Structure 1
Amino acid sequence: MRIVLALGGNALLARGQALTAENQRQNIQKAAESIAAIAQNNEIIVVHGNGPQVGMLMEQNAVYHSSSPETTPYPMDVLGAETCGMVGYMLQQEIKNIDNSLNIATIVTQTIVSSDDPAFSNPTKFVGPIYNSEDAANIMMNSDKIFKADGNNFRRVVPSPQPKDIVELNQVETLLNAGNIVIACGGGGVPVEVKDGKYTGIECVIDKDLTAELLAEKLNAEMFIILTDGSVYKDFGQETQQEMKIATPQGLSEFDFPAGSMGPKIDAVCKFVNSMKGDAAIGSLFDLNGIIGHQSGTLITKGEGIQYYQ
C-alpha cells in the first residue's frame, strides 16, 4: 500500500522540550522505529513538520544579527530548506540504523504558493518556542512579530498560504518507484512563487499537512496519515471530551477546530477522502501499526456521521 505519512514537528520535539539536537534525535529514533516497522510491506513517503525547528533558527538569526548588524537575517524559505536537511538527515540515518536493508532518500522540495493568498493578512501558523503571556506581549510591543495562544502558552505565528503545486514531484515519484522510503516536502516544502518563469522564495511557512495531502493526491496514495499527539476528539480538553474512532468529512464539518493546530489537519484529511483516492487517519506516531489496522487513532472515510471509542 502506498502511504503518505505527515509527521508533526511537535511529534519530533515534545511540547516545551528544549530545542537541542540530542532531544530531537531521541524523538526521531522513536519515529524511525514506527516507520521502519511498516516499511517492508508498504511504499512510504514521509512529510515532516518544522515549526519548532524553523522557529529556533529564526531566534538564532535574531541573536546573531544583534551582535553583527551587517549580517542580515536569512529569509524563511532558506531556513525552511535548512530544516529539511537537518530533520531529513536524522530521520534517514535512524531508519537505516533500525533496518539496514531499507533504502531512504531525503529530497529538498519547493512548494509553489501565491503571494496574493489571504493568509498573508492573517498569520496562523505556529513556529518556534513557547512563551508566557507577559514575555509574548513584550516581544510584540518591541517588534513586528505576532503571537497567539497555543494552549496555555503563546507562540509566534506566521502566514500559512495554500500549497498550489510541488516543483520536484517527478523526482519524488522516481525515488519512490526505485524502492526508497522518500522524505520530501519537509515543513510543507520550501515556499516559492513563480514570476516571469522564475522561482523565488517567499516569507512564510506552508502547513505541512496541506502539502502532504497535495502530495498524497498527486502520487495516488492509498492512505494518508497525519501523525500527531493523538486522535481527533469532540470537546477536546473538557470533561465531556470523546475520542473519535471513525469520522467522515460530513460529520467533521459540524465541529469547529482551531485554525492554528487541528483545523488544517481536519481540512487536509477531509480533502483527501473527498478526492476519492483513499482513506485518511489522524493518530499517535507510536500507534502507527494500530492506525493502519484501524485499531487506534481516528479513521476518516466516506459516509456519514461519527463513531466514538467506547
Structure 2
Amino acid sequence: MKKRIVLALGGNALGKGLPEQMKAVKNTAKTIVELIAAGHELVITHGNGPQVGMINQAFEAASRIDADSPALPMSVCVALSQGYIGYDLQNAIREALLNAGIDKAVVSLITQVKVDEQDAAFQHPDKPIGSFVSPEEAQKRIAKGEVLREDAGRGWRRVVASPRPTEIVEAASIRALLEAGQVVITVGGGGIPVVSKGNHLQGASAVIDKDWASAILARDINADMLIILTAVEKVAINFNRPDERWLDSMTPQEARRHIADGQFAPGSMLPKVEAALFFAAAGKGCQALITQLEKAREGIAGETGTLIQQ
C-alpha cells in the first residue's frame, strides 16, 4: 500500500564532516529511491548536530580575528546548515532517481518552525554549542547577553534552549510541492527556530529536536507514516539488562507506560519515542516506525522495526 511518509534521517545518514557527508548521502539516497520506486510519497527531514556546531565555531573564530565579522545567531546557523546539507542531499537523491529511470524533481526548502517564547526551555538552556572558552572570555560574552556554562572542568561553553516546536511555517508550501509530485527535503536540523512578533518571525537562540519537528510536520501534512531512523533496528526495554526485550510494536498506552517507567534514555531514545507517540496518537491510521535506514523498506512492510499505532 502506497503511503505518504515523513522520513527523519538520523546522524549516521549524513556523516560528521563535509567529505564524510558527501559519501554518506550517496548511500542514504539509494534507500530513499527504493522507497520512491515502491510508490511512496516522501518528505525527508534531517538533523544537523555536527554541521551546525562547525558553522557556529567557524563564525566564532572569524569574530575573534575580525571585529566586523560577528558570531552568528543560532537561527542563522541552522539556516546555513539547512542550505548545505540540503544541497548535498537533493543532488544525491536526484542522481539516484535518474539512475533508476525515475524523472522526479527534488527540492530543499528553507524551513522555519515556530516555538513558544514562554516555553520553559528558554529559562533553562541546556544544549551546548560551539567551542570551549576561558572563564575570562565567558564573562565577556555573558556581558553581551549570551548564556555560557562551565562544562565539567573542560571550560565554558555556550548553551541554548531546546523548546518544543508548535508549527511548521512552510507547511502549506510543503503540501503544494508534494501535490506537484516532488520530493521535499525540509525541517532541516529541526527547523529554523522562530517566535511570532505580530507579522514578524524573529529568530530564537535555540535548537529544535528534529524528530519532534518531523512529528509536527507529519501531522500537519496528513502523512500516513512517520519513520524515525536511528542506529538500532528496534526499540528495547530493559536495555543492556539480562531481561532486555526488543519491541516489534507498541500502542500509545504502552509507550506512555514505558516512558513513565524510565525505560528510554533522555538524550537518546526518549525523544524519538515521544515524537513517535505524538504522531501515532494524532489520528486514526497514523503510524510511527523507529528503525535503521537500511531496514526502512522492511519496516514499512511490517517485517522489522518498532511500530507505534493506535
Q: TM-score normalised by the shorter chain: which range applies? A: 0.7 to 0.9
Structure 1 letter corresponding to 2:117:
S
Offset, 1:107? 0.7
Over 3 Å counting, the alpha-carbon distance change for 1:71 and 1:184 in structure 2 is same
Is 1:297 aligned with 2:308? no
1:197 aligns to what? 199
Deviations 1:229-261 (A, max 9, x none): 122111334454322111222212233223333
One-letter identity of the residue aligned with 1:267: E
1:86 matches 2:88: no
The aligned counterpart of 1:268 is: 275
* Partner residue of 1:281 out of 266, 283, 289: 289
Q: Is the 8 A contact 1:273 1:280 kept in 2?
A: yes
Identity %: 36
* Deviations 1:53-107, CA, capped at 9 Å, x for gaps: 1111112122222222332101111111111111111111111111212321111
Q: Secondary structure of 1:70's match? A: coil
Q: Classify the secondary structure of the residue corresponding to 1:164.
A: strand
* Contact preservation (8 Å) 1:83, 1:187: yes
Indicate which of 237, 254, 258 corresponds to 2:265: 258
Paired position in structure 2 for 1:22:
19
**CA separation in 2, counterparts of 1:146 and 1:235?**
33
Q: Comparing 184-193 with 236-245, which one deviates more in the overlay?
A: 236-245
Residue of structure 1 in register with 2:73 after alignment: 75
Where 2:6 maps in the other structure, the secondary structure is strand
C-alpha spacing 1:140/1:166, structure 2 compared with 1 (3 Å):
farther
C-alpha RMSD over aligned residues: 2.3
Compute the displacement of 1:147 (Å). Answer: 7.8
Structure 1 residue identity aligned to 2:79: A
Q: Say which SS state the counterpart of residue 172 (structure 2) adopts.
A: helix
Q: 2-side partners of 1:278 and 1:267: how far apart?
A: 14
Q: Distance in 2 between matches of 1:140 and 1:35?
A: 46
Following superposition, the deviation at residue 109 of structure 1 comes to: 1.1
Between the aligned partners of 1:127 and 1:209, the Cα distance in structure 2 is: 19
SS at match of 2:248: strand
CA contact (8 A) 1:113 1:161 kept: yes
In 1, distance between residues paired with 2:17 and 2:49?
A: 14
Higher mean alpha-carbon deviation, 266-275 vs 58-67, is at: 58-67
User: Cα offset for 1:196?
Assistant: 2.5
Task: Return closer, same or farther for 1:242/1:109 CA change in 2, 3 Å cut-off.
Answer: same
Alpha-carbon distance in structure 2 between the residues aligned to 1:218 and 1:285: 24
What's the counterpart of residue 181 of structure 1?
A: 183
Of the candidates 238, 243, 246, which is equivalent to residue 246 of structure 2?
Answer: 243
- Structure 2 counterpart of 1:111, one-letter code: V
- Cα deviation for residue 142 of structure 1 reads 6.1
**In 2, Cα distance between the equivalents of 1:224 and 1:74?**
32
Relative to 1, partners in 2 of residues 1:56 and 1:171: Cα closer, same or farther, differing over 3 Å?
A: same
Q: Tell me which structure has the larger Cα radius of gyration.
A: 2
Q: Of 107, 110, 116, which residue of structure 1 is paired with 2:109? A: 107
The SS at the match of 1:253 is: helix
d(CA) in 2 for partners of 1:240, 1:140: 46
Q: Is structure 2 residue 51 aligned with structure 1 residue 53?
A: yes
Partners of 2:268 and 2:293 lie apart in 1 by 16
Report the CA distance shift for 1:280/1:123 in structure 2 as closer, same or farther (over 3 A).
same
The equivalent residue for 1:119 is 121
Contact in 1 for aligned 2:56/2:129 (Cα 8 Å):
no
Name the CA distance, whole Å, in 1 between partners of 2:189 and 2:45: 7
Matched position secondary structure for 2:267: coil
CA distance in 2, matches of 1:126, 1:11: 22
Structure 2, unaligned stretches of length 5 or more?
139-146
Could you tell me the TM-score, scaled by structure 1's length?
A: 0.84
Q: TM-score w.r.t. structure 2 length?
A: 0.84
Q: Measure, in 1, the Cα distance between the counterparts of 2:148 and 2:303.
A: 42
Aligned partner letter, 2:72: Y
8 Å CA contact 2:59–2:69 kept in 1: the answer is no
Task: Quote how far apart the aligned CAs of 1:201 are.
Answer: 0.8
Q: Quick one: structure 1 residues 252 and 157, their matched pair in 2 at CA, closer, same or farther if it must change by over 3 Å?
A: farther
The one-letter code of the counterpart of 2:73 is P
Moved more, 228-237 or 289-298: 228-237
- Partners in 1 of 2:23 and 2:104 — Cα distance? 20
Structure 1: segments with no counterpart, 5+ residues:
14-18, 130-135, 150-154, 303-310
What does 1:157-176 correspond to in 2, within 5 Å?
Answer: 158-176=160-178
